[in-house]
Amino acid sequence: MVPSRSPSLVRFFGGVMARAMRRSFHAVRLARPGWPDLPPDRPVICYLNHPSWWDPAFVIVLATTQFADRPGFGPIDLEMLQKYRFLGRIGLFGIEPGSQRGAAAFLRTGLAILRDPRAMLWITAEGAFSDSRVRPVRLRPGLAHLVRRVPDAVTVPLALEYTFWDERTPEALALFGPPRPASCFAGMHALEITARLAERLEETMDALKGEAVRRDPAGFHRLLEGSVGVGGVYDLWRRGRAWLAGRRFHPGHGARE
């Protein structure tokens, strides 16, 4: 059965998460080339690494920014859903991690969701928090079983990373890998599909790591802008220096944006 989902609540919660990320990050950035080109008449499986507590917030910001016309869904720990029942109204469905019953529920619900050609399923495929530098990338097997059963779907890897550049608050970075039809995995065993999907996600994570190390905002689209500068007496002193020198004061430390 497809989980109940309130579009108005999704939009509201997307706004709440966007404000939270503005407060906590210097900027939320999407690495170039940017948004993936997705066919409008095929369901999408977007699978991502899981480096932080912020990942669900980042996902809903991405989903409500660019994919508002696609009903978005994602699995969550059943215990968490029972504690925060409103999450079920924004497309999250509960599973029991690490159990056969949980795997069966994930597959059954995922198949029901992906019958809608507009649907988009977001999956933290590692199944648990993992540092974005850990190699090799290891994915839970449920993703491969789902991909095998929905050959008309499109698979998209998504890399997330959080890092400090020049400001007191960190950067939230994302990169979509190239979309690939699930049908290209036809005839493969689940273990082989898992390995191929992990390889694609790892490549995307490596590419994002390279952009993060370069620390160049020009390599990204800025989706959200947070606060800059240190604040307090230090910024007051910097503002005074700029005024004395006849320069315009910019609170950020970086001069590239």
pLDDT (0 to 100) of residue 85:
86
Can you give the CATH number for the domain in which 222 is found?
3.40.1130.10
pLDDT of residue 51: 97
100 and 180 inside one domain: yes
Please check whether residue 101 lies inside any domain of the structure: yes
The string of pLDDT tens digits covering residues 127-160 is 899 999 999 999 999 999 999 999 999 999 999 9
| CB 72, CB 113: distance < 8 Å | no
Residues 165-201 as b/e (b if ≥16 CB within 10 A, e otherwise) read bebebbbbbbbbbebbebeebeeeebeebbbbbbebb
For residue 128, give the amino acid letter. Answer: A
Look up residue 177 and give its two tokens. 């890998």
Is the same domain home to 182 and 240? no
2 occurs within a structural domain: no
Check whether residue 211 and residue 84 sit in a common domain: yes
Kindly state whether residues 28 and 102 are assigned to the same domain.
yes
C-alpha span between 146 and 45 (Å, rounded): 9
The pLDDT score that the predictor gives to residue 69 is: 94
Shared domain check, 181 and 112: yes
Residues 169 and 74 reside in one and the same domain: yes
Residues 169 and 245 in one domain: no
What is the reported pLDDT for 43?
A: 98
Q: How far is 80 from 96, CA to CA, in rounded Å?
A: 10
CA 175 to chain CA mean position, Å: 9
Task: Name residue 90's beta-bridge partners.
Answer: 5
Cα 16 from Cα 229, distance rounded (Å): 23
Q: Is residue 72 in some structural domain?
A: yes
Q: Are 71 and 183 in a shared domain?
A: yes
Q: Is residue 161 part of a domain?
A: yes
Kindly state whether residues 243 and 149 are assigned to the same domain. no
Q: Label residue 145 exposed, middle or buried (CB < 10 Å: 0-12, 13-18, 19+).
A: middle
Is residue 216 domain-shared with residue 233, that is, in the same domain?
A: no
My answer on whether 255 and 138 are in the same domain is: no
What's CA 240's distance to the chain center, in Å?
40
Residues of the chain with pLDDT under 50: 230-235, 237-238, 240, 249, 255
**Closest C-alpha among 169, 170, 171, 172 to residue 160:** 172
| CA angle 208–15–155, rounded 5-degree value | 40
| The pLDDT of residue 1 | 83
**CA-closest candidate to residue 120, choices 185, 164, 65:** 65
Domain count, the chain: 2
| Pair (190, 237) in one structural domain | no
Tell me which residue range forms the domain holding 106. Answer: 7-226
Dist. CA 3–CA 176, nearest whole Å: 26
SS3 136: coil
16 within some domain: yes
The whole-number pLDDT of residue 176 equals 98
The answer to whether residues 167 and 253 touch, using CB atoms and an 8 Å cutoff, is: yes
Q: C-alpha angle with apex 180: 74 to 28, nearest 5 degrees?
A: 55
Residue 1 lies in a domain: no
